[in-house]
Amino acid sequence: MKKNNRYETFCLMIEELDRGTYLINEYDSLLHDYNGVVMFQAESQMVKAIGDSPGITASRLAEQFKKTKSACSQLVRKLKKKGWIMQKRNEENSREYNLFLTETGKDIYSRHRDFEDSCYRRAFEMLSDITPDEMESYIKIQKRLNKAFEMDVSQSKKI
């Protein structure tokens, strides 16, 4: 493969990545019906994170989602008001609260998990002609691109 051809193929790959990023951003901005429970993606991600790690703190969620503590606290208050999560004072550090799902939250967690699983299975089936080795190659490429993107972000923050 000629060097120029390789670069053109790379540019096509980045164009497809950009299209995928656009679609992901659009999807994340929409309301979703998780088997009868309608909510925003940020809410479902928070419910999932708390369901996956009962007792997690808002500070840890902020780190995990790369959001400010204030943004996470706002979402926690919103989910608490909806009756999906509850806070319990941390016995070892009285300034912290641990987060848990309520029974309603556990039901939502389960519905979201089932919905997400069906989405993953649909995408997996659409890749039925892609070999495990090709998937490994994709992961390797994406990890390298992510490093380049991190460098781009770092450079842009200096402006």
- Residues 46-79: tens digit of each pLDDT: 999 999 999 999 999 999 999 999 999 999 999 9
Share of the chain above pLDDT 90, in %: 86
DSSP string, 74-90: HHHHHHHHTTSEEEEE-
Pair type for strands 31-34 and 37-40: antiparallel
- Tell me how far apart the alpha carbons of residues 61 and 18 are, in angstroms, rounded to a whole number: 27
- Residue 118 one-letter amino acid: S
Question: One digit per residue, pLDDT tens: the chain, 159 residues?
Answer: 556 799 999 999 999 999 999 999 999 899 998 888 899 999 999 999 999 999 999 999 999 999 999 999 999 999 999 999 999 998 888 889 999 999 999 999 999 999 999 999 999 999 999 999 999 999 999 999 999 999 999 999 988
Residue at token pair 């039901």: 107
Pair type for strands 85-89 and 97-101: antiparallel
